[in-house]
Amino acid sequence: MTLYRQLVIFTLILFVLLFSAIWVEKLQSTRSFLLTQMESHAQDTATSLSLSLSPIVAEGDIPTVETMMNAVFDGGYYRVISFKDMEGAVITERLLKITLEGVPQWFIDLVPIQAPSAEALVMAGWTQAGVLYVESHPGYAYRAMWDAAVKMSLYFLLAGSLVLLLGGFGLRLLLKPLKRVELQAEAICRRDFRIQEKLPKTKELRQVVQSMNRMTNQVREMFSGQVKIAERFRRNAYSDQLTGLGNRRYITGQVEARLESGGESMHGALLMLQLDNLQKVNELDGFAAGDELLKKVADIIKQETKMLNDVALARLTGGDFAIFISEISSVAVYDLAEKISQKVTRLAVENASHSDNIAHIGGVVYEETPTLPKLLAEADNALQAARQQGPNKWLVNFLSSGADDLIKGKSWWKETLENVLERGEIILFRQPVMNSTDQNRVQHQELLSRIAMDSGEIVSAGVFVPLAERLQLVSRLDKVVLEKVFAQKEKMADLHTIAVNVSPSSLDDSAFVDWVLAELGQLQDKSIHIIFEFPEFGAVQYLDVVKDFARKIQKLGHGIGLDHFGQSFSNFGYLKSLRPEYVKIDRAFTKELDADNGDSEFFIGALCGVAHSLDIRVIAEGVERAEQVDLLVELNVDALQGYLFGEPKHV
């Protein structure tokens, strides 16, 4: 029960008690007054009538006595007027039966009235002729008391209604600051730190509001401090402070995690970019010019890779950069290397002090999972070969036993993708996400899209999605995948909660968004809960449209999630406004737990603290060993995903 209701009820109880006391006291005082009046009236009547009857009785004129008694009886309000001789024999008498009209019996029983009576001697000369007895009628008293009680009850009912109305309104005004405190507390739970500027005039309530404001400030500072510590640690441990890219440790962890994920046929690439004559730029133009060049190259790399979902960027040392892309087609790698080379070469044109031979790019595309040393060696060989070809050259080699299958042109991939989309030949796989505390309970199922090549090879989304992005086919691809999901409602209902990977750039297509919202609105089976999963790197780039999409689907009972969390170096602050259902820690951090250096543990623990304070679940992907499970549970991770719990299976 609310405080407002309790106060209203308490006020009403006090009012009823007060009314009852006043009502009883008023009734008793009215009764006493009426009894006194009736007693006085009976005595006066008996005295005056006996004096009037004395001379007539002396003459023995009984008829005249009766006439006078009748006149008094009929003119007053008496129950009995009786004239008896000294022996008690009735000479004459008038009686009136007690009938009370308009007064309920319960009231008569509640307030009993003993009608007062009076006696007076009637003289015949010096002789006592008899006794005159007069008794008042109680009907008048009952009627008067009943009318008074009814009027008093009506007055109190009216007064009570006014008290309830005005008192309730007044209590709402008085308790309004407490309502604002309640809303402020709820906002804190959502990590929305509101301060009440308007303070109540009531001293006690003002102190409560001031204390709440102080607590809000302290919690905000604690939360901000926790976020800053986690962000600063991640930057110091995994990023290059000058360019904002990852460092050698970061790229090593990312590559190893992808190469060791296993289970499926892997496609990927590693590109290495090396600036020539960086030391000469530092000597001739100063270190500031060299730093500016490094930043511009880093910006070009970021810009050209922003459409890729699973990419890791790093500055290794000096003027050496690395770009690792997990699951990508060879044609997409060609396009990427060529565009980066062209834009970096333009830097020499923009700044005459730079050498015309500004940079070289070497890379390797792999089809079968290589070892990290092999991958680095092949990429370095390609880089040296590019240097031998001439200024600003790039070269991408293949590390595959079936290179002929990978060397497909851009037109071939475009035709293949368009045919797949036209026929809707998307295959859905699913992989369970398990609850960390009850590892037999499935939290949800993640749906993974695949396409089957003519050769029978199953190609994962990571290979063809980047190319679909470049060919501007990604919203069509996402629509085909979701059509498959909506067409299998019965199967999806069995899975209850499903996560579907969607490209953030698809949300720029208003027709696609409208179609998704319409399909979700027509989804009658409310047992199906769909989580649209976006890679963190892409979600941050399309933050506004992702926020708007999340707000709309949340109204329909669905939500969003963030994948590969920690792969980019974005601030945690956007989580407060985006409010995903979960963040999925990038597998590189899960793998690095095996190194036992404490850095990944600290990052994961800090992330869990920040996320849980925002009611966001944390999922660890790439879990493959029981030792990882124990440590992740200890770090308060909510759910686990990886080959330890099950490989992707056909829906």
Pairing of β 359-366 and β 394-399: parallel
What's the DSSP call for residue 190?
T
Residue 408: the pLDDT is 58
Residue 352: the pLDDT is 56
Range with lowest mean pLDDT among 157-161, 224-228, 321-325, 360-364? 224-228
Question: Taking 60 as the threshold, does the pLDDT of residue 109 lie above it?
Answer: yes
632-649 pLDDT tens trace: 999 899 999 998 898 888
Residue 405: the pLDDT is 42
Residue 105: the pLDDT is 82
Residue 322: the pLDDT is 94
Residue 404: the pLDDT is 42
Mean pLDDT of 557-574: 84
Mean pLDDT of 562-588: 84
Question: Taking 60 as the threshold, does the pLDDT of residue 321 lie above it?
Answer: yes
Residue 409: the pLDDT is 58
Residue 620: the pLDDT is 94
Residue 190: the pLDDT is 63
Percent of the chain with pLDDT over 70: 92
Cα–Cα dist 284/293, whole Å: 13
352-389 pLDDT tens trace: 556 677 889 999 998 777 888 888 888 888 888 888 78
Top pLDDT among 224 and 330 is at 330
How long is the chain? 651
The values of phi and psi at residue 6, to 5°, are -60, -45
CB 635 within 8 A of CB 599: no
Residue 164: the pLDDT is 79
Mean pLDDT of 440-449: 91
Cα–Cα dist 600/307, whole Å: 27
Residue 407: the pLDDT is 47
Would you say the C-alpha torsion 444, 450, 452, 456 has a positive or negative sign?
negative
Residue 402: the pLDDT is 45
Give the pLDDT band of residue 15 (cuts 50, 70, 90): confident
410-420 pLDDT tens trace: 677 778 888 88
Residue 271: the pLDDT is 95
Question: Taking 70 as the threshold, does the pLDDT of residue 426 lie above it?
Answer: yes
Distances (CA, A) of 649 to 445, 461, 463, 517, 613: 11, 15, 19, 28, 34
Q: Domains in the chain, start-ordered, CATH in brackets?
A: 3-161 (3.30.110.200), 190-237 (no CATH), 246-406 (3.30.70.270), 410-650 (3.20.20.450)
Tokens of 348: 């020499």
**In terms of Cα–Cα distance, which of 76, 83, 80, 19 is closest to 56?**
83
**In terms of Cα–Cα distance, which of 188, 41, 171, 27 is closest to 111?**
27
Question: Taking 70 as the threshold, does the pLDDT of residue 290 lie above it?
Answer: yes
Helix ranges restricted to H, 193-247: 203-238
Range with lowest mean pLDDT among 51-65, 85-99, 185-199, 210-224? 185-199
**In terms of Cα–Cα distance, which of 523, 578, 524 is closest to 549?**
578
Question: Taking 80 as the threshold, does the pLDDT of residue 224 lie above it?
Answer: no
Give the pLDDT band of residue 403 (cuts 50, 70, 90): very low
Residue 597: the pLDDT is 59
Cα–Cα dist 560/539, whole Å: 10
237-254 pLDDT tens trace: 788 888 989 888 888 888
The pLDDT mean for the chain works out to: 83
CB 135 within 8 A of CB 43: no
Question: Taking 90 as the threshold, does the pLDDT of residue 581 lie above it?
Answer: yes
